[in-house]
Amino acid sequence: MKNNTVAEGKTAIFTCIVQNLGGHRVAWIKADSKAILAIHDHVITNKEKIKVTRNDGSTYILTIEEVSPSDEGFYMCQVNSEPMLHQVTYLGVVSPPVISDSETTTDLSILENKVARIKCVAKGTPAPSITWKIKGHFQDEIENKSLLIIHNVTRNNMGTLMCIARNGVPPARSKTIKLYVNCKCKKTQF
């Protein structure tokens, strides 16, 4: 059996080939929790997303639909022979990035010559990397920084910033943040 990495919400398929089974039975077990999922071609678990089929006399297929992070772990195809025979495989679950609105900076207004701290937080599996694209009076791209710090902000820094979260699982996500810079003007007396 081969290890399997599947995107969240997709289908995972495991194939176990057992020859010369005789009167023995094949069981599918989630090894880390020791939960029996199926015996031969009968599903034991009450999870409707788990299915088991047999293509021919020797090929047993375990299908897990709409995979979620809780499905991640080791799975075992086991024959109840003496001694017991088994093969173990691993299901890894990946998920596309999601930018956390509650932890990410919203549009920001700051005084000239101050420090702008702009944060972009993304979650996903594997952990996403953050890239910043800065538009306005200057064009720049900054890799792998969830916290962007701009010292001594000037009006030239004013514009649109975009944080882009990528982790190799499509789609990438982005969020636009506007940076406004307020003039630290001197008061004049009349």
Query: Mind listing the pLDDT tens digit for each residue in 114-136?
Result: 999 999 999 999 999 999 988 75
Q: What number of CA atoms fall less than 13 Å from residue 169's CA on the CB side?
A: 20
Residues of the chain with pLDDT under 50: 137
pLDDT number for residue 174: 95
Q: Is the pTM of this model over 0.95?
A: no
> In the structure encoding, which two tokens stand for residue 157, read together?
């820094």
Q: Does domain 4-95 have CATH number 1.10.630.10?
A: no
- Could you check whether 4-95 and 100-182 share the same CATH topology? yes
Asked if 146 and 155 count as a contact pair (C-beta separation under 8 A), the reply is: no
d(CA 185, CA 190): 15
Which tokens go with 79? 């024959």
Q: What was the pLDDT predicted at 189?
A: 63
Largest CA distance in the chain: 104
Domain 100-182: CATH superfamily is Immunoglobulins (2.60.40.10)
pLDDT of residue 186: 67
pLDDT at 52: 94
What is the structure's pLDDT at 4? Answer: 93
Q: Give the start-to-end residue ranges of the domains of the chain.
A: 4-95, 100-182
pLDDT attached to residue 42: 87
Residue 111, CA distances (Å) to 28, 47, 126, 165, 177 in order? 63, 56, 37, 28, 17
